[in-house]
């Protein structure tokens, strides 16, 4: 992990805020559709930068990073809860676990067998890329909030207080974002639509980041994309590199991958795509994985 302030990351964070303010103030007079699109892209970039912050960038000080990312441009996910669930996700031996991986979309086969037909239909639809982008943000939010509700109501009061604290801080941030928006020509519905669309954009990245595989490193993908989506996701498409080296900042990931490409592809058992065009072409209207975890019955 680099020492000192990562100035490039800091400048990008400040630029994302500046461009977001500019979009709110100046774009509605040009086009509300353009406003929503730009807000979606900037909120998605802010989420990617929040991911950098929770991994220790641009400052080595956690409090400074959290203060820097305080405004929730995506509106729906508290930074503190994103931080805690994502760091739990980095326990690679638990990747794709229906219970212990907070970011898994797999279901326990026994749970799947007991589901109603309509719920199965929705989850199967969510397993296509089109479904994940359009329905995924809503389904993910409902699931996320339900899990946090159970944590808040659970027996571990320390965890419950932490969850409540993160949500209260988040609501303060949302109130500030709403107040800022009200000082501009941008209507609140455009802000909300842009935030939802940003989560849809991010679902393109997370759609196939992990697969069911017996080896934990074989569960994590590499997408060798160099286009706009790779930059929007801050090269997190090189996902096995990030999981093996979570302290490496976003701008160092491509070089690290290029210098060790064959090794990374051997480590992740060849779980690899050329670019996001290939992903979209293959999975826009069909599932990559079954909803019930295909290896779960064989797990101890």
Q: What is the pLDDT of residues 199-248, one digit of tens each?
A: 999 999 999 999 999 999 999 999 999 999 999 999 999 999 999 999 99
* Whole-number Å distance between alpha carbons of 14 and 199: 21
pLDDT(129) > 80: yes
Cα(29)–Cα(243) distance, rounded to whole angstroms?
43
Task: For residue 275, give every residue at least 6 positions away whose Cβ sits within 8 Å of its Cβ, in sequence order, or none.
Answer: 223, 224, 225, 226, 227
| Residues found in the chain | 300
* Phi and psi angles of residue 223, each rounded to the nearest 5 degrees, phi first: -120, 110
Report, as an integer, the average pLDDT of 47-73. Answer: 97
- Tokens for 163, please give them: 């969850």
- Strand 272-273 vs strand 222-223: parallel, antiparallel, or unpaired? parallel
The token pair that represents 51 in the structure block: 């991911």
- Kindly list the domain boundaries of the chain, sorted by start residue: 7-298
**In the predicted model, what is the mean pLDDT of residues 53-79?**
96
pLDDT at 300 over 60: no
pLDDT recorded at residue 141? 97
Q: What is the mean pLDDT of residues 245-267?
A: 97
* 107 strand-pairing partners: 292
Confirm if 40 and 201 have CB atoms less than 8 A apart: yes
Q: Which of 148-157, 163-172, 290-299 has the lowest mean pLDDT?
A: 290-299
For residue 248, give the DSSP letter: S
Q: Which two tokens stand for residue 108?
A: 């326990």
Residue 2's pLDDT is what?
52
């Amino acid at each position: 992990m680099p020492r000192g302030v990562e100035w490039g990351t800091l400048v990008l964070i400040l630029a994302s805020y500046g461009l977001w303010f500019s979009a709110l103030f100046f774009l509605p007079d040009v086009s509300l559709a353009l406003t929503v699109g730009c807000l979606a892209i900037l909120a998605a970039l802010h989420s990617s930068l929040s991911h950098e912050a929770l991994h220790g960038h641009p400052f080595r000080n956690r409090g400074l990073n959290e203060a820097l990312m305080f405004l929730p441009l995506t509106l729906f996910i508290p930074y503190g809860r994103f931080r805690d669930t994502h760091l739990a996700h980095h326990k690679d031996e638990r990747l794709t676990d229906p219970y212990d991986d907070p970011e898994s979309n797999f279901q326990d086969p026994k749970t799947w067998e007991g589901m109603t037909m309509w719920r199965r239909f929705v989850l199967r639809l969510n397993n296509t890329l089109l479904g994940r982008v359009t329905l995924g943000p809503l389904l993910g939010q409902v699931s996320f909030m339900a899990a946090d509700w159970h944590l808040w109501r659970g027996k571990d009061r320390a965890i419950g207080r932490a969850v409540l604290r993160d949500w209260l801080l988040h609501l303060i941030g949302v109130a500030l974002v709403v107040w800022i928006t009200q000082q501009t020509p941008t209507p609140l519905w455009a802000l909300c639509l842009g935030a939802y669309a940003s989560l849809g954009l991010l679902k393109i990245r997370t759609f196939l980041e992990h697969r069911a595989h017996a080896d934990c490193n074989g569960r994590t993908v590499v997408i060798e994309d160099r286009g706009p989506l790779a930059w929007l996701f801050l090269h997190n498409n090189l996902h096995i590199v990030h999981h093996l080296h979570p302290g490496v900042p976003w701008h160092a990931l491509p070089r690290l991958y290029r210098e060790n490409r064959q090794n990374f592809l051997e480590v992740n058992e060849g779980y690899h795509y050329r670019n996001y065009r290939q992903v979209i072409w293959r999975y826009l209207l069909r599932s990559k994985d079954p909803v019930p975890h295909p290896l779960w019955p064989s797990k101890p």
